[in-house]
Amino acid sequence: MTYCVGIKVNEGMVFASDRRTNAGLDNFNSYSKMYVHKGIDRNIIILTSGNLATSQAVFNSITKDLEDDTNGNNLNNLFNLNEIAKYIGRLNVKHSSPDGINQETIELGSTFIVGGHIKDQESELYLVYPQGNFIKSSEFKPYLVIGEIKYGKPILDRVVKSDTYLGDAARCALISMDSTMKADLSVGPPIDLVVYKNNSSKIVYQQSLEINDDDYQYISKQWEKGIFEIFKSFNRFNWEDK
Amino acid sequence: MTYCVGIKVNEGMVFASDRRTNAGLDNFNSYSKMYVHKGIDRNIIILTSGNLATSQAVFNSITKDLEDDTNGNNLNNLFNLNEIAKYIGRLNVKHSSPDGINQETIELGSTFIVGGHIKDQESELYLVYPQGNFIKSSEFKPYLVIGEIKYGKPILDRVVKSDTYLGDAARCALISMDSTMKADLSVGPPIDLVVYKNNSSKIVYQQSLEINDDDYQYISKQWEKGIFEIFKSFNRFNWEDK
């Protein structure tokens, strides 16, 4: 499994993904599930979960299309994020039914979060399904998650709004990831974390964080400490000793 | 779906269950999934998730066996919690394969958390599977969950240890339930909450809490407030404006 989260707040965007892949507990490995493209007029970030062969084939096609720009659409020449989501959807369907097999049902499909910013357009965030179709993030809950999504959802639900500070959104993504890794062995470090800031039109933070890295350790420990502070702050039930 | 949690700390035990049942979004209802038995020398609490017909049939059988105590085993005459878990397992298998159908595979099975205290024995907590077999809670993570278990797990993982105060365990169960209800429409109020205290050998708190009840509101709001305090307490990344 995998856990990836994309957040879009007014100030910018946050992307986080783990690196664990597995075909059973006795066969796990570490691959990045994040593709970062910094173009002249755009920054595009793509996260993926699902069939690893399909996801890697999609990432390879993206790179190949960028290198051979006589060959039609690529991340540099597509006009907007919606077109890019459509492009990723096409690659996804193509690679999940190689050589004409597996065409009736999508058994080897992957799921993608596609986000970023082009020229003076508004930044956008999409979720691309194994079937190649896609949805846009909502205003009300401006985040998208794929993979092992349940453990890390409550903290996103409580914290992330459109007007949340970009830094808080980044910390929330890390806490959501930390909660998931502590609860589920199929999600594991390092964590790829990218933060994009609207007003500077650039990626202001791009790290592959190990568990013992300072930024990760600080947030995980401060969060844990804070939780115990909340518990200390509660009024007691009347049946309690203390 | 359903969410139930049972916690066993040194001071006592906590049991919480939601009441929403559904056979699709357009067909939901409200039933208690908690069975509380206060005997002369024992308090037994049973929570259930899974096939509602099977769960209700098991609860009915428990009551019937208690009323007709010439009829073999019941919650009053079984000697210890292990025997009671075995008894619930037998009832579970019996009612999930009524009249000889569905015997090869358990398709209509339910899952149960069985906990409590008998005489001077140590209090215990079991999870009974649809197949009728069961496990005991571990010392390291002294809680068991059934149903829609993922959303509410991170807070239990972080907070609940054997030496956690009973009141904190009760608040943690409510927060875990609150997180789950906010994330998943298949889990809903009211919340049945029971707290058992070892040194008094009795149930010290038994409530069916609605969302707007004081105890529930207080804990939910204080938790939310506390989380935002933690976010305020974090050091900023160096790329942040504030």
The answer to whether A96 and A102 are in contact (CB under 8 A) is: yes
Q: Which residues of B touch A143 (CB under 8 A)?
A: none
SS3 of residue B191 by DSSP: strand
* B62 contacts: CB under 8 Å, gap ≥ 6: B35, B37, B46, B74, B75, B88, B91
pLDDT given at position A106: 62
- Rounded to the nearest angstrom, the minimum Cα separation between A86 and chain B is 29
Which positions in chain A touch B233 (Cβ < 8 Å)?
222, 226
Q: What is the pLDDT of residues A183-200, one digit of tens each?
A: 988 899 999 999 999 988
Comparison of pLDDT for A171 and A185, the residue scoring more: A171
Sheet with B134-136: list strands edge to edge.
Answer: B34-38, B42-50, B110-118, B124-128, B134-136
The pLDDT, as a whole number, for residue B141 is: 92
Residue from A141, A148, A158 whose CB has the most chain B CBs within 10 Å, to mutate:
A158
Query: Which of B7, B13, B150, B201 is the mutation pick for testing A, counting most A CBs within 10 A?
Result: B150
Q: What pLDDT shows up at residue B31?
A: 87
pLDDT at A165: 96
| pLDDT of amino acid A97 | 80
**Cβ of A182: how many Cβ atoms within 10 Å?**
15
Partners of B143 in beta bridges: B7
Q: Residue B13: what pLDDT?
A: 97
Nearest CB neighbour to A157, from listed B152, B183, B237: B183
The C-alpha atoms of residue B82 and residue B79 are separated, in whole angstroms, by: 8
What is the least distance, in Å, from the CA of B151 to any CA of chain A? 5
Residue owning tokens 């998730």: B49
Give the closest of A153, A215, A226 to B151, CB-based: A153
Residue B190, H or E segment: none
8-state DSSP, A237? P
A216 has a pLDDT exceeding 80: yes
pLDDT attached to residue B100: 61
Residue A116 has pLDDT above 80, yes or no: yes
Q: Which residues of chain B fall short of a pLDDT of 70?
A: 71, 98-107, 242
Q: Is residue B35 part of a domain?
A: yes
Could you tell me which chain A residue has the CA closest to the CA of B178? Answer: A154
Which residues does A contribute to its contact with B (CB < 8 Å)? 150-155, 157-159, 165-168, 170-172, 179-180, 182-183, 195, 197, 204-205, 215, 218-219, 222-224, 226-231, 233-237, 239-240, 242
**Inside any domain, residue A240:** no
| Helices and strands (H, E) in chain A, number of each type | 5, 12
Answer yes or no: is A68 within a domain: yes
Q: Do A227 and B168 touch (CB under 8 A)?
A: no
B191-197 sheet: strands from edge to edge: B143-147, B3-9, B12-17, B191-197, B202-209
Whose CA is closest to A195, among A2, A1, A8? A8
The mean pLDDT value for A99-125 works out to 84
pLDDT of residue B200: 83
pLDDT at A77: 94
Judge: A222–B234 Cβ closer than 8 Å, yes or no: yes
Interface test with B, best of A196, A214, A235, A240 (most B CBs within 10 A): A240
Task: Compare all CA atoms of chain A with the CA of B151 and give the residue at the minimum distance.
Answer: A151
DSSP A112-128: EEEEEEETTSPPEEEEE
**What residue in B sits closest to A196 (Cα-Cα)?**
B239
Q: Is A134 exposed, middle or buried (0-12, 13-18, 19+ CB in 10 A)?
A: buried
Domain membership of residue B114 (yes or no) is yes
Given the structure tokens 């069961």, which residue do they identify?
A: B134
Nearest CB among B159, B228, B236 relative to A231 is that of B159
Q: Which CATH number belongs to the domain containing residue B20 in this structure?
A: 3.60.20.10
Query: If residue A129 lies in a helix (H) or strand (E), which one and from where to where?
Result: none
How many other C-beta atoms can be found within 10 angstroms of the C-beta atom of residue B105? 11
The pLDDT score that the predictor gives to residue A169 is: 98
pLDDT of residue B29: 80
Q: Are A4 and A49 in contact (CB under 8 A)?
A: yes
Q: Is residue A239 part of a domain?
A: no
Predicted TM-score (pTM) of the model is 0.93
The CA distance from A156 to A137, in Å, is: 13
The verdict on a CB contact (< 8 Å) between A165 and B219 is no
Q: How many structural domains compose chain A? A: 1
Number of residue pairs across A and B with CB atoms under 8 Å? 117
In a domain, B238, yes or no: no
Q: Would A238 be classed as within a structural domain?
A: no
From start to end of B20-156, where are the E strands? 20-22, 28-30, 34-38, 42-50, 110-118, 124-128, 134-136, 143-147
Q: Beta strands B124-128 and B110-118: pairing type?
A: antiparallel
Whether B53 is in a domain gets the answer: yes
The predicted-structure confidence for A83-97, as pLDDT tens digits, reads as follows 999 999 999 999 988
A contacts of B167 (beta carbons < 8 Å): 234, 236-237, 239-240, 242
pLDDT at A134 over 90: yes
| Residue B16 burial (CB count, 10 A) | 25
User: What is the span of the domain harbouring residue B78?
Assistant: 3-233
Measured over the CA atoms of residue A160, residue A166, residue A172 and residue A174, the dihedral's sign is: positive
Q: What is the pLDDT of residue A28?
A: 76
Chain B residues with beta carbon closer than 8 angstroms to that of A152? 154
Of B155, B170, B226, which has the smallest distance from its Cβ to A237's Cβ? B170
Cα separation, B153 vs A184, in Å, equals 10
